[in-house]
Structures are given as C-alpha cells and as structure tokens.
C-alpha cells in the first residue's frame, strides 16, 4: 500500500485546504514530519486513518463530532481526500463527516449527513471511474484490499512508539491484549470459552442428575418410614464420587426390609380375620335369642290390651249391623227429601208470580191465565206495522236534521270562500315580491362572503406584521449583542490559548521526574526544565475560555436562526397584507373598519337570504290553498242543488208516516210504549200459569214419597221412619268403624300366631340374652382387622414404592454414566486449554500458546534490525518460562552480547528502549502484514522518540530506516529533534497560526506551501 496524495479541508487545526504530495516525499525514502506542539502533525496521520476507515486512531476516535476545524469559514465542508495504490489498483477516497451547514432557505443551520466517495483510476482511459457512495460497501472494500482492521493499521502503519515502549515493559497479560487485537486470535479465545461452556454445561447436567438421584434417595427414605434403613439415610452432595453406588446399596437393603415387614403384616391380617368371624357368629346368636325373648314378651302385652278392648269392639259391631239394615230404607228417605225440597221451591215461585198480577187474578187458575195470555198476544200482533212506521219516521227525522246541518255548513263554506278569493290577487303579488327579494339577497350575501374572508385574513396578517416588526427589532438587538459577546469570547480564547502554547514547555516540565523519559524528546536527563512565568495559564483556564467561546457561538447561532425565522414570518405577513392595488400599507384600524362593514352587510344579506325557502313555501301553500278553495266552492254549490230535491221528498214521506202512527199509538205516547206494555203483561201471565202447574205437581209427588217411606221402614224392622234415619251412617264413618273392628281381629290373630311359635316359647324359658357384650366383642375384632388390613396396605405400598423408586434410581444411574464420561472428557480439555490442568506444565492458555508463536516470529523479525541499531549488542528473544507463579507464554527478554546474559526488557535505558521498541514495531509490522494476507506496506510513519538517542545511535537507527528503501518503502518520521532536520532533506512542516495551521513541503532545500 503506497500513499500518493492527501487533501485536508477544514479538518482539525487546518482551516483551509492543505495538499500533501506523498510521491514527492517518498522519493527520498525517508521524510520528516515536524512542527511546533499543537500545530497538527498528528492530525495529518488522523486524516489518513479517517480517509481509510472513517474514524481516527485510538482515544481520538470518540471525537468524531469535533473533527471540524474551528478556523474554517461557514459554508466550507470538512473533507479529507486520499489517493493511494493498494496492490495493482489506484484508488481515491473522499470522506465528509456529519457536520452543520447553513440552511439554503432562511436562517440557522441544519445537519449534513456523512458522505463517502470511492473512485478508481483506469490506466487504459486515463480517467477516474466512480465505484460507490455507500459507507458500508466502501468500508468492506477497503478492509478487504488493505487486509487490516483500523486497530491493526494504526499499530502497523502509524507505529505509535509510546505503545511499544510500554509493550516492552508490560506483563504477559498486557502483551496478550495487544497481540490479540493485532493477530485476531479471538477464535482461539472462543474455543477456550466454548470448552469452558461445555464443561459447565456437562457439569451442570451431572449435578442435576445427582440432584435427581438424591431426590429419589430422599423419597425412598420417606417411603421406608418405620424401617431400620430409614434411620441411616444416604448422605452426599451432587457431584460426589460414589454417590450412585451408595444410593443403590441403600435401596437394596430398604427393599429387603420392606418385603420382610410385608410378610409379617400378612400373617397378622389372617389371624384378625379369624377372630372377627368368631365374634360375628357370637353376635348373631345373641341378637337372635334377644329377639325371640322380646317377641314373646310383646305378644303377652298385646293379648292383655285386646281383652281390655272387647266391650268397645262389641258396641262398634252393633252399630255396623244397624247401619246395614238402615241402608234398605235409604232410597225412600232420599225420595222423600227430594220431593219435599221441590214442593217448597214450587210454592215460593207461585207466591212470587201471583204477587205481580192484578188483585182480580191473584187466585185465578192456570187455565184462566192461559186464555188471557192468548188474547193479549193477538193484540200485540196488530201493532207490528205501526212499529215499522215509527222506526222509519225516526230515520226520516234524523236524515232531515243531517241535511239541515250540511246546508248550514255549505252556506258558511261558500261565504268564507268568497271572502278569501276576493283578496287573492294582492296577496299573491306580495308573496311573489318577497321571494324575489330573498333570491337577490342570497346572491348579494355570497358576493360579500367572498370579500369578507380575504379582509379578515388581511386584518390578521396586519396584526402579525406589526407584532413581528417589533419582534424583528428585538431579535436584531439580541443578535448584535450575541455577535459582540462571541467575538470577545473568541479573542479571549485565542489569547489564552496562545499564552498557554508559549508556556507549554513549562507545563510539561512540571510532570518531569528524574530518571523517567521526557514525553517530548524521550531523554531521561532533564538538565534545564522550563519555568512558569507570571503570564502563564493552565489547561483548565484554556478549557474554560473555550467553553465560554462555544456557549457564545451557540448563542449567536441561535440568535441568527431566530432573526431569520422572524424576518421570514414578517415578510410573509407584509405580502399577505398587500393587495396589489396600492403601494401604501393599510393600517390595522383601516382593515378592521373594512372587515366590520363587510361583516355587517353580509349578516343583513344572509339573514334576508335565509328567508328564501320560507317565502317560496308560503307562496306555494297560498297557491295550493287558492286551488283548494275554488274546488271546494264548486263542490258546495253542487251539494246545495242536490240537497233541495232530497229535502222535499223526505217531507212528503213524513206526512204519510204521521197519519199511520196516530192510529197505532192509541192512548200511549208511542207505538213502542204500547207494544212494550203488552209484552210485559204477556210474560207475567205465562210465568204465573207455569208456577201454578209446578206447585200442583210437587204436592202430588210429596204425598207419594211419604207413603213409600212408611212402608220401607216397617219392612226393615224400624218402628218409625225417623228411627231408620237415625241408624244411617256416612261412608267415611262406616269405613272407620269397619277398620277398627278389622284391626282388633287382625291383632288377635297375630298374637295367637306368635304365642303358638315353638322357638319363641322355648326362648322365653331361657336366661336373658347379652347382645351388648357380643357387640362390644365384635367391634373390637373389627377394629383389629382394620388395623391389620391398614398395616398390610401400608407395607404393600411401601414395598411397591421402594421397588418403583429403586427402578427409577437404576435408570437414572444408567443415564448418568455417559454424562459423567462426557463431563470428564470435556473438563480435561477445558482445563488443558485454560492452563489450569496438571498436564499443562507451563499453564499456558490456548490463545497464549498461539500468541507465543506469533511473538516468537515478531522477536526474530525485530532482532534483525535491533542488532544493527545496537551495533550487534542486543537481540530480542521470546520466553515461555513461568515467573512468580504466574502463567507463562508471552515473556519477552533481551540478550546482551557483551555480557552473554538474558535480562528483562525493563532494564533497558531510555535510548535503548526507543530503538528496541522501534525494532519491535518494524518486526511486528512485517509479521502482521504477512498474517493479514501479505499486502505490501510501502508507506510507514514513526511517531517521536528520537530525542533520547545519541548521535552514533541515531545514525545507526537512520541507517536501519534507510535500509527499508531496499524494499521500495518510504518512512515518515514525526519528531521535534532539530538534528533530524539537518539529516533528512525531505520534510513536511506543519506551521500554526491564528487563522489555522498550514503545511509546507521541503525537498532538497526547496519549499512548497500547502
């Protein structure tokens, strides 16, 4: 990889565009990059790294937001362009970080996104061809071509000497971190971690299996409760060796004890069953004897009660016998009661009917009443025609009344229609005029609405215009103040910064310690350190001044943005107020009066226009009413003509009906009254005749019933009918008497049967039975049987549980076998790669082992140059010996050829440490380049450290660096040492000034400003 051209714009301390021609510098092989502290030497290297990877080296990579130069004018983009050759391809990379730029419209700033361009030079056409503008694609392309990550590039190409000086003195762990980043041994660390994870996972599986096995052992201990084995449970923890054998042995002992206990409980259960059977037989015998003795005693008591109840039974039986005789007289008694009831009812009905007849007919017979009824019916039949005439006369009168009412209504309608139609024409003209006026008002309201909204918008814009004018004046005042404060803060910061840079040597001298190398020149001797002056300022004062300047700049930017927004809003408001008719701007009062007048006129027109619909509806209703009234007038006139002829016909019919009604009414007010009176008299006569006949028949039937009852009582053996009636019993009473008699007879038969039983009499002769004692003995036998059965079930359950748990334990032990073997194998590998195994004698981790091989290569490559730099005295060697009980693998020693001893690199002096670290850096660059894919590195940079070398050593170091040209390399040295300016003719000088730093190229005594 060879650098050709670098262009830096508004980057770091460089305010303007600076161009660096690396081809001119590289032609000499060695070139010097120098300049005062803070000028921007490191920023040149940062720009190279930023162009390739989009970020700057080391800790500065977090300052991406501060890459922009404070000296750059507004509107100039921060940009880095790098032209280089990688392999056989010539590329051009241009990068812009994310940055603030002024808005294209209005005031203020906006954030410009980061941009990247990649182009390639085509030798055939002599033109550049664009390849990509994608950050991701360009980053992948550069990483693939260069073959190194950003960390490797910064360590190999930029050669930071301070890091390698620390690398020489560092312990194995610190070296491992640096080498791991450079050689990317993460895959070996991943192998270690993966084996450790597998070991932990396998260990967890084994411990989980042992935990399950212990759980089974605890469950078996609980299941074996009461056995001797339960008093000595299995003890142990997951992962203990021999745990499985202990669990299986204990399970076998517990199973044997459980089977023995099961056999004993089975024998006890058989004995309990025999005892319960004997107790059951004794209990049954005692209960049977007690039952027979109780039956005999109960039969004697029941026989005594029957003897006492015998007189009552005889009385009940006599009542039943007399009721059976009286049943033969019951039909005659029923007929007598029915006849008596009918006779009384007929007598009451006859007396009620006679009470409504005239006195001369009170004692008349049925025949006389019937003859009088027939005469009245004949008279009623002669009134039918008169009644029809009367009904027709009523209908005619009603119809004549209706005609009269209709005639009066038609007369009123004709009069009302005539009055209404007389004023129709003037009313129609007024309604038509109202409709036209409302229509005109609607058009006028629409026109005024179109003028009102613009007038209101202009009024609002005028109010905003006046308010924004005042805001603009206020913003201008704030901006002027902010600019003055920003300029004052900027001048103050530059002054403080300049004063600090002038006294920076004194500030660095404060940190010097005798024997430690200088941060600038690397020398361990400090003969005349600089002293601070009264005008010196420290870093905190500079940071405070810069912070004040930053705040003032932010305040000025915010004020500019606010003023631009306010002016834009004020201009827009003025444009909206202007009508184009006049150049003069109307005032708010004028626009307000205009808007109020338009609003008033619009409200009046809108209110009148709102009556359009109602006016049209009123006119339409009036026209419909006119048509309806004309039609109603014509219909009323037609009805009047038809009604006259009908009224004359009804009057003629009424005269004929009046003559007929006069003949039919007679002495009554109406024919209907005459007919009603006849119908009432006929109904009374019919009812009276019927009640007389019914009373005569009822008296006859009562006499016949008395005769039959007397004859039936005599035949049944009763002296009188009343005696027979007294002997009768109701059905429920008779059933109750019969039930009591039957119950006494059934009880007597049952007592006789029980006293005749052979076993009952024999039991009565025996001593009294003791069923309570037999029951107690049986209960005790039952309890003993239940206890024996429960004990057998518990023993059987215990044996079954122990068998099942033992089988589970055996299965778990078998399953754990392969897991234990896998764990042992993985644990051995993990311990070996982690360096903790006894088999790993040097306690080297796998990653350290790989890095040790790389470090051995680096030491060999570095020794080739170190011998030349030290005149053959020093050689770097790798050591894998253990020190102080720590792990080995990444030791680095120096062999002194003058003494023949091998010693630690920390014993080197300041100058020796510099050229040793330089040799180490160059050797590491060769090894990393080969490891990364063999990409040729044609441009290298070495940062500081030459001030610690004497003149002879400096010559030897420069000879070594000059020998790099044999491989067509160019080496850039970054240093403050003045002697190098005389020794190296090709120089790139960085000059700092208040307006920003600049670069100057010097080759062979000529100077070219960047």
pLDDT in tens, 294-353: 777 777 777 777 787 778 777 777 777 777 777 777 777 778 777 778 878 877 777 777
- The answer to whether the CB of 943 falls within 8 A of the CB of 45 is yes
Model confidence at 715: pLDDT above 80: no
- The answer to whether the CB of 792 falls within 8 A of the CB of 266 is yes
The tokens for 181 are: 């980043």
Model confidence at 934: pLDDT above 50: no
Task: Give the residue carrying structure tokens 């994870």.
Answer: 197
Residue 989 pairs in a beta bridge with 34, 1000
Distance CA 690, CA 687 (A): 5
- Comparing 129 with 536, the larger pLDDT belongs to 129
pLDDT value at position 1005? 47
Helices (H) and strands (E) in the chain, counts: 26, 17
Lowest mean pLDDT among 203-217, 436-450, 918-932: 918-932
Distance CA 6, CA 92 (A): 10
Q: What is the pLDDT of residues 93-117, one digit of tens each?
A: 999 988 887 777 777 777 888 899 9
The tokens for 317 are: 């039986």
Distance of CA 398 to the CA centre of its chain: 86
Q: How confident is the model at residue 180 (pLDDT cuts 50, 70, 90)?
A: low
Mean local confidence (pLDDT), 812-834: 75
Three-class DSSP category at 980: helix
Q: Which helix (H) or strand (E) holds 1007?
A: strand 1006-1009
Model confidence at 948: pLDDT above 60: no
- The answer to whether the CB of 542 falls within 8 A of the CB of 472 is no
- The answer to whether the CB of 240 falls within 8 A of the CB of 210 is yes
The tokens for 235 are: 């003890």
Distance of CA 754 to the CA centre of its chain: 87
pLDDT value at position 333? 74
Model confidence at 169: pLDDT above 50: yes
- The answer to whether the CB of 972 falls within 8 A of the CB of 158 is no
pLDDT value at position 117? 92
Distance CA 549, CA 541 (A): 12
Model confidence at 163: pLDDT above 70: no
Q: 359: which DSSP letter?
A: G
Q: 54: which DSSP letter?
A: S
Please, what sign has the CA dihedral across residues 292, 293, 294, 298? positive
pLDDT value at position 94? 94
Mean local confidence (pLDDT), 183-209: 73
Q: What is the pLDDT of residues 38-80, one digit of tens each?
A: 788 888 888 888 898 888 876 555 444 468 888 888 778 899 9
Average pLDDT score, the chain = 76
Q: What is the pLDDT of residues 632-669, one digit of tens each?
A: 878 877 777 777 777 777 777 777 777 666 666 566 66
pLDDT > 90 fraction of the chain, expressed in percent and rounded: 3
pLDDT value at position 7? 94
Distance CA 192, CA 845 (A): 8
The percent helix, strand, coil of the chain (3-state, each to 5) is 70, 10, 20
Q: What is the pLDDT of residues 82-98, one digit of tens each?
A: 999 887 889 999 999 88
pLDDT value at position 282? 80
Segments in 520-611 forming alpha helices (H): 539-577, 588-609
pTM to 2 decimal places: 0.40
Mean local confidence (pLDDT), 672-684: 72
Antiparallel, parallel or unpaired: β 99-102 and 89-96: unpaired
Q: What is the pLDDT of residues 960-993, one digit of tens each?
A: 666 655 556 677 778 777 777 777 888 888 888 8
pLDDT value at position 505? 67
């Amino acid at each position: 990889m060879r650098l050709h051209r670098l262009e830096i714009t508004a980057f770091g301390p460089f305010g303007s565009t600076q161009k660096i021609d690396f081809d001119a510098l590289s032609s000499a092989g060695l070139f010097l990059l120098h300049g005062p502290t803070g000028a921007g030497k490191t920023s040149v290297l940062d720009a190279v790294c930023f162009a390739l990877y989009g970020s700057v080296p080391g800790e500065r990579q977090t300052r991406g937001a501060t890459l922009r130069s404070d000296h750059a004018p507004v509107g100039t983009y921060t940009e880095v362009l790098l032209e280089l050759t990688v392999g056989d391809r010539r590329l051009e990379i241009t990068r812009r970080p994310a940055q603030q730029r002024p808005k294209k419209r209005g005031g203020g700033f906006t954030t410009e996104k980061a941009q990247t361009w990649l182009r390639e030079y085509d030798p055939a056409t002599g033109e550049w061809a664009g390849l990509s503008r994608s950050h991701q694609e360009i980053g992948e392309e550069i990483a693939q071509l260069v073959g190194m990550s950003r960390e490797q590039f910064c360590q190999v190409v930029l050669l930071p000497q301070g890091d390698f000086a620390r690398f020489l003195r560092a312990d194995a762990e610190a070296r491992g971190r640096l080498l791991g980043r450079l050689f990317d041994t993460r895959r070996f660390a991943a192998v270690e971690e993966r084996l450790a994870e597998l070991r932990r996972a396998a260990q967890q599986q084994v411990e989980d299996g042992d935990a399950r096995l212990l759980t089974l052992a605890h469950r078996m201990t609980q299941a074996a409760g009461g056995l001797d084995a339960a008093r000595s449970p299995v003890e142990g923890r997951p992962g203990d060796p021999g745990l499985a054998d202990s669990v299986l042995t204990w399970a076998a002992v517990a199973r044997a004890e459980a089977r023995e206990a099961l056999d004993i409980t089975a024998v006890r259960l058989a004995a309990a069953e025999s005892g319960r059977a004997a107790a059951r037989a004794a209990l049954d015998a005692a209960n049977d004897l007690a039952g027979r003795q109780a039956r005999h005693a109960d039969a004697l008591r029941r026989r005594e009660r029957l003897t006492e109840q015998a007189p009552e039974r005889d009385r009940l039986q006599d009542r039943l016998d007399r009721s059976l005789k009286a049943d033969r007289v019951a039909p005659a008694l029923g007929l007598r009661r029915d006849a008596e009831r009918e006779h009384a009812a007929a007598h009451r009905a006859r007396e009620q009917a006679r009470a409504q007849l005239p006195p001369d007919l009170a004692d008349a017979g049925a025949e006389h009443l019937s003859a009088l009824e027939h005469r009245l019916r004949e008279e009623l039949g002669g009134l039918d025609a008169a009644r029809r005439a009367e009904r027709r006369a009523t209908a005619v009168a009603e119809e004549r009344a209706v005609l009269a009412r209709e005639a009066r209504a038609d007369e009123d309608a004709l009069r009302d229609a005539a009055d209404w139609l007389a004023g129709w024409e003037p009313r129609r003209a007024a309604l038509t005029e109202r409709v036209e006026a409302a229509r005109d008002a609607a058009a006028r309201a629409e026109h005024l609405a179109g003028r009102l909204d613009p007038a209101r918008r202009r009024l609002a814009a005028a109010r905003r215009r006046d308010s924004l004018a005042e805001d603009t004046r206020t913003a201008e005042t704030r901006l002027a103040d902010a600019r003055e404060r920003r300029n004052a803060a900027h001048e103050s910061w530059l002054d403080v910064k300049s004063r600090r840079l002038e006294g920076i040597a004194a500030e660095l001298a404060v940190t010097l310690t005798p024997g430690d190398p200088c941060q600038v020149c690397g020398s361990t001797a400090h003969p005349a350190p600089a002293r601070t002056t009264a005008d010196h300022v420290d870093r905190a004062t500079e940071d405070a001044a810069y912070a004040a300047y930053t705040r003032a700049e932010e305040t000025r930017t915010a004020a500019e943005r606010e003023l631009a927004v306010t002016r834009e809003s004020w201009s827009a408001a003025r444009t909206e107020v202007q009508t184009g008719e006049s150049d003069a701007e109307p005032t708010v009062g004028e626009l307000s009066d205009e808007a109020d007048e338009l609003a008033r006129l619009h409200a009046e027109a809108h209110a009148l226009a709102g009556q359009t619909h109602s006016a049209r509806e009123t006119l339409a209703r009036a026209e419909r009413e006119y048509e309806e009234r004309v039609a109603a007038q014509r219909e009323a006139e037609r009805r009047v003509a038809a009604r006259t002829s009908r009224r004359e016909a009804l009057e003629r019919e009424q005269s004929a009906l009046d003559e007929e009604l006069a003949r039919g009414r007679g002495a009554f007010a109406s024919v209907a009254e005459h007919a009603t009176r006849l119908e009432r008299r006929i109904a009374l006569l019919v009812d009276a005749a019927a009640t007389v006949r019914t009373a005569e028949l009822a008296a006859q039937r009562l006499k016949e019933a008395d005769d039959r009852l007397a004859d039936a009582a005599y035949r049944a053996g009763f002296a009188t009918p009343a005696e027979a009636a007294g002997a009768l019993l109701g059905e429920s009473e008779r059933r109750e008497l019969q039930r009591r008699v039957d119950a006494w007879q059934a009880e007597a038969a049952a007592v006789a049967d029980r006293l005749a039983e052979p076993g009952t009499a024999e039991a009565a002769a025996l001593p009294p039975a003791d069923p309570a004692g037999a029951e107690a003995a049986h209960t005790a036998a039952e309890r003993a049987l239940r206890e024996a059965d429960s004990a057998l079930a518990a023993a059987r359950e215990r044996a079954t549980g122990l068998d099942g748990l033992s089988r589970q334990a055996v299965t778990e032990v078998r399953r754990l076998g392969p897991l234990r073997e896998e764990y042992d194998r993985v644990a051995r590998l993990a311990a070996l790669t982690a360096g903790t195994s006894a088999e790993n004698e040097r306690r080297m981790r796998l990653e350290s082992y790989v890095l040790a091989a790389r470090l051995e290569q680096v030491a060999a490559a570095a020794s080739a140059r170190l011998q030349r730099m030290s005149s053959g005295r020093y050689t770097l060697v790798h050591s894998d010996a253990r020190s102080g009980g720590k792990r080995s693998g990444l030791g680095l020693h120096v062999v002194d050829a003058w003494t023949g001893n091998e010693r630690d690199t920390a014993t080197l002096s300041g100058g020796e440490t510099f050229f040793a670290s330089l040799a180490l850096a160059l050797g590491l660059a060769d090894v990393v380049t080969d490891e990364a894919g063999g990409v040729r590195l044609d441009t290298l940079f070495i940062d500081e450290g030459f001030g610690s070398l004497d003149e002879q050593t400096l010559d030897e170091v420069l000879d070594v660096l000059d020998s790099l040209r044999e491989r067509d390399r160019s080496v850039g040295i970054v240093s403050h040492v003045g002697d190098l300016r005389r020794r190296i003719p090709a120089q790139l000088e960085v000059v700092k000034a208040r307006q920003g730093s600049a670069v100057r190229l010097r080759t062979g005594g000529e100077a070219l400003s960047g």
